[in-house]
Structure 1
């Protein structure tokens, strides 16, 4: 994760290992209200095609990430960060831990993500 101003910097990348799956667990130091998600991947088949989001489920792992998420988003190619996907406010209004699971991409063996951006506001320490 890095600053918004660095969103188009492709010198830093996260790649999946042997499969397409990537899983991120993001703890916050206070509660946040998340309103949107931005994902920048490669402009090709390694770009993730789906994002599954859970709020306040820090124990999420690959083996239990295949279940129903609080929200599932179909992603499109967005190498220039023009899309912001809206999230359901009922599940993401007071988040202390966010889990993001990218189960697949557009056909490559590995998934590459250059930038993940979150929109919202900090609510404070509970």
Structure 2
């Protein structure tokens, strides 16, 4: 019980860095789910992380792939999971960043993941798995490949969430550089520079 209380205390502050609002839920999809719509259903608000009435079950075997796109680039610091109990607990998770074209399990098997995670068995509470931030510093999509459940037949996921922050510095910097060029007073100068550059390229050829 003390371990669960400690875990709850550790996670209590993650709501401010929860990436739920930045997930493009309409385009979340899964492979080998008993009900395809369940891929979106397990991506819940932080306040519903302990809910067990809504979940995703695997279909013909214990493997599941869930593809999660984000509305903008984010830095993902951890994956937060609440998994099935007993024999329905997947034991391994492969994480792929920015691979939107992973469309089947053979692709996942033949593509080197950015991270392999051994999932905790027998844990009924929400668990946070830290990521190597360098590998997940600018992410527009994640593909999660759950496999090898304890029972070998069914995997279940109750909650899937992410902790991190928004990567907007580069975009803001680009916008600031573009603002002067859009100003009418500066437009002639930009045009002259463009013509000069074009003339130099023509001469060089």
- The bucket for the TM-score relative to the shorter chain is over 0.9
Equivalent positions of 1:26-45 (< 5 A) are 26-45=68-87
Unaligned runs of at least 5 residues, structure 2:
1-42, 172-205
Runs of 4+ in 1 over 4 A off after TM superposition: none
Residues 4-55 of structure 1: per-residue CA shift (max 9 Å, x gap):
1101111101010011100011111100100011221122111111111011
Which is helix-richer, 1 or 2? 2
Match in the other structure for 2:52: 10
**CA offset at residue 108 of structure 1?**
3.9
Match in the other structure for 2:116: 72
User: Larger radius of gyration, structure 1 or 2?
Assistant: 2
Question: Equivalents in 1 of 2:47, 2:124: separation in Å?
Answer: 15
Query: What's the secondary structure of 1:90's corresponding residue?
Result: helix
The two structures have a TM-score, normalised by structure 2, of 0.58
Give yes or no for contact 2:93–2:146 (8 Å, CA) kept in 1.
yes
Which is strand-richer, 1 or 2? 1
| RMSD over equivalenced CA pairs, Å | 1.5
Tell me the matched-pair count: 125
Give yes or no for contact 2:61–2:152 (8 Å, CA) kept in 1.
no
Question: Equivalents in 2 of 1:109, 1:43: separation in Å?
Answer: 13
